[in-house]
Amino acid sequence: MTPTRKKRLTVVLLILLGVSVAAAIAMTALQENLLYFLSPSEVAEQQMPTGRQFRLGGLVKEGSVNRATDSLKIRFRVTDGLKEVEIHYDDILPDLFREGQGIIAIGSLDNNRVFQADEVLAKHDEEYMAPEVADALQKAGHPRASKDSTSVAPSEYKP
């Protein structure tokens, strides 16, 4: 092998080595459980201590929203189908907040295991359909069409 060839081969091998090490680390990263939030079940499982800040995610339970008449205070429960957590919040809610909607709350548990939220975020809707179709689906009792959401993320759609 000529020296130039040898050098080229070394370079190629080095690049291959580097890329495969990077890929191996990335594979490990993929296997790590990346959590944006804890679900109510995980909160119950982990015995989350009181007063520590974390993000709680889940669906707002139908019929659980309880608003105060004279202030912004609101109480509701989020569920993941198995467990529920009571949330208290005292600020302006996002427009998309409604029963059955997915939300993420940031805050901590108090001594009564009630989640005191400092911030509540809502999820966008990603559906596009003609009004007639939506009506038809609603008549047929399709759960997706029952949402009366008016806000849709402009650039969120996949054909």
| Residues making contact with another protein (CB under 8 A) | 7, 11, 14-15, 17-19, 21-23, 25-26, 28-29, 32-38, 48, 52-55, 57-59, 95, 102-104, 106, 121-135, 143-145, 149-159
Residue 111 or 155 with smaller CB distance to another protein: 155
Q: Report the nearest approach of another protein to the CB of residue 93 (Å).
A: 13
Q: Produce one character per residue of 95-121: b if its CB has 16 or more CB atoms within 10 Å, e if not.
A: ebbbeebebbbebbbeeeeebbbeebb
Q: Report the nearest approach of another protein to the CB of residue 104 (Å).
A: 4
Helix (H, G, I), strand (E, B) or coil at 19: helix
The one-character DSSP state at 82 is S
Q: Report the nearest approach of another protein to the CB of residue 42 (Å).
A: 10
The one-letter amino acid at 158: K
Residue 69 or 158 with smaller CB distance to another protein: 158
Residue 16 or 68 with smaller CB distance to another protein: 16
Furthest CA-CA distance within the chain: 85
Helix (H, G, I), strand (E, B) or coil at 105: strand
- Mention every residue, 6+ apart, whose C-beta is less than 8 A from residue 109: 43, 48, 49, 50, 51, 52, 115, 116
Residue 74 or 109 with smaller CB distance to another protein: 109
Q: Report the nearest approach of another protein to the CB of residue 70 (Å).
A: 26
Q: Report the nearest approach of another protein to the CB of residue 112 (Å).
A: 20
Residue 106 or 114 with smaller CB distance to another protein: 106
